[in-house]
Structure 1
Amino acid sequence: MTDIKDNINKLLFESGLTNYQISKRTGIAQTTLSRFTRKESDIENMSLKNALKLNDLWKTISETEKKV
């Protein structure tokens, strides 16, 4: 679980992607993402569905960077 949480943190806070960009690629509402980036909600309380979407996006981005 820690790996997924770390991946989500990296995506939200270190990737350089905006909430809008993440929203478009995952289908997660910008308002939902904003609650996490403003730390109004804790990542541990995120729905499994959203956590998996964000983790998958981080993995895709990481793999793309490795190829470049």
Structure 2
Amino acid sequence: MSDIKKNIEDLLFESELTNYQISKRTGIAQTTLSRFTRKESDIENMSLKNALKLNELWEKIRQAPTDE
């Protein structure tokens, strides 16, 4: 599995962000995100443009300082 695909799966399925929050931060429609989170569409078939946006958001979240 590619790193980008794993990052996207982490963002969509493991993060505390909702599809609404991801949509607002990336510009990707909530309906598009929902198709992936409901597994109606395969992440491997996602457009490159959307994959790069989601990966970029995942990277920003990973680099954000924690409140610990």
Q: Check whether TM > 0.5.
A: yes
Q: How many residues align?
A: 66
- Aligned-pair RMSD on alpha carbons? 1.0
Q: Which residue of 2 aligns with 1:59?
A: 59
Give 1:1-68 correspondences, 5 Å limit. Answer: 2-64=2-64, 67-68=65-66
| Superposition deviation, residue 16 in structure 1 | 1.0
Q: Which runs of 5+ in 1 are unaligned?
A: none
Structure 1 vs Structure 2: percent identity of aligned residues?
A: 80
State TM-score, norm by structure 2.
0.94
Letter in 2 for 1:22: I
| Superposition deviation, residue 63 in structure 1 | 0.5
Q: How many Å separate the matches in 2 of 1:48 and 1:62?
A: 21
| Superposition deviation, residue 9 in structure 1 | 0.2
Letter in 2 for 1:42: D
| Superposition deviation, residue 28 in structure 1 | 0.1
Q: Which has the higher helix share?
A: 1
